[in-house]
Chains A and B, each alone.
Chain A
Amino acid sequence: MSDVVISNIQRKKILECIASGKRLDGRALDEYRKIEVEVGISKNAEASVRLRLGKTEVLAGVKLGITEPYPDAPDEGTFMTNAELHPMASEYFEMGRPRIEAIELARVIDRGIRESGFIDMKKLCIKEGEKVWQVFLDIVALNDDGNMLDAAGLAALIALGNAKMPKFNEEEGKIEHELTEEPLPLNHEAMSFNMTFHKIGNQIVVDVGPEEEAVSDYRLSIAVGDDNGKPRITAMQKGKEGAISSEDMEKILKLVEVKWKEMFPKVKEYVFGNGK
């Protein structure tokens, strides 16, 4: 993600272009690429999603298991996010154990979902202190054309929004290979989604491509939900080596409000609109 090789002339061109308020692909600085969603790409998953953000493409799947609860939350289910930046998705990804890029991606998405309270963990309790549902969220990158964070984050939400509970055989304490019509318990109003802002030259840019990503000073990912018609931040992460000036922080928070108003209804439609 960060070690994309870029020539000086390309760097200069991108910076010039962005300084003039445009992108090389003609988009405005605060404009997202086209989003395409397909739900149900694996019949063996509780939910599965394929999402395209421009040419960035990612799969997300939800599986459920049974486990013991954590001692500090005996009446709550558990939630785990895993991300794989597979070498098929980019010449910069490698086989082997997950590197920091994949770990960070999984943790940022996990935090956004967990802290918002989107999944109703209490309803995932089967027997307090003994048996609870375990939600696995797995993300696999298929093609990296920049902004994998926002693409994967949205795919994850859509997967959760479409997940159905599997049938649980209480006598044997086992999960049957069959899904029920019952949805994964969610707090719909608590949902928040992730937007990532990059500082490039003197501008703040959203939904960056890999070359833009390579020339940015820093990125700030912000998960935003709804609090009675106002944006509510549930997770943040600053990435890369640059530091944020006070003025830029103001700019970003203003942009958060604008983009949230525009994007949130669309995101809700994707997540709860049965994959349309």
Chain B
Amino acid sequence: MSRKIVVPFGPQHPVLPEPIHLDLVLEDETVVDVIPSIGYVHRGLETLVAKREYTEYVYIAERTCGICSFIHGMTYCQGIEQIMDLEVPQRALYLRTIWSEYSRLHSHLLWLGLFADAMGFENLFMNAWRLREFVLDVLEETTGGRVIQGSCKVGGVRRDISNERLAIMAAELTQFEADLSDLSDVFLHDDSIQSRLVNVGTLSRTDAYDLGAVGPVARGSGVAIDLRKTGYAAYGDLRFEPITETSGDSYGRCAVRVRELFSSIDLIRQAIEKIPEGDIEVKVKGNPDGEYFSRSEQPRGELVHYLKGNGTKHLVRSRIRTPTLTNIPPLVKMLRGCELADVPVIVLSIDPCIGCAER
């Protein structure tokens, strides 16, 4: 048996958009153990509930993440609405659903580009991000913001989308879907991609469930957990099934995200078809008094905003449990037994968002 050595990976590394540190224990080129460490970008966002009114805190919640900011804002608002028993107008719920799915498209395309880049496939990276621009343009046009949308508020949404604009959005999706088909063919069928991903970083179904994996990490191992099935926002009115793969390897996680792009397009189409007329917000009176675990399905998986109010305008507690935090233990499991050269691809395969995880 060879001597064990420890190789530090991160917090600064070419494939890491955000800092996570891994102590990799190696025997020759094989990783035999991993100690993860985060904490480089802790911002203390949760403490700001003491400084901001609950209606203002939505701006903080949105800034938890620069990729899925809309879903953070929506999940926070949903939690306050549940505590205060607010009936949010149906049109607002449909608009939230539409923006959530555009956020998922944007996040998955961003990740696919980064993933291609991590494998050294830079042309594919550029193509993924070229398509992502279309999604960002729609978000900017309909909310006013490319990254931080700011369109969600407690009681509904700040902006409506006209029916004419919705019809244009639905029509534009046809070309976008065709472009995505070309891109997905490469990710799903190209030999060089498969040689980097198949049987790399395998996580069994049992391990995925036991270790608390969520989102594409869980679904890539065959665990069909998708919080949209709880029916929040307008998802209860739409038809869809969680996308799953059974291989549990990096390819499986990639394939789930690729297939979810098409699922999101379908959900947007359904939402545009069914969106009712009506108000987009309800008047909010009083302060939240009670608690709620508001849950939603982010592009990376299950997001939990725990909110507790005491009848004043400041919450007692906001606790944000992001999918990346709970996907760290499964990552440790995936890395054990892999080759050192595969570590960057495996780390990226969970789509880590560390700033989001540390809040």
A joins B in a complex: no
Q: Which A residues have a C-beta under 8 Å from some C-beta of B? A: none
Q: Which B residues have a C-beta under 8 Å from some C-beta of A? A: none
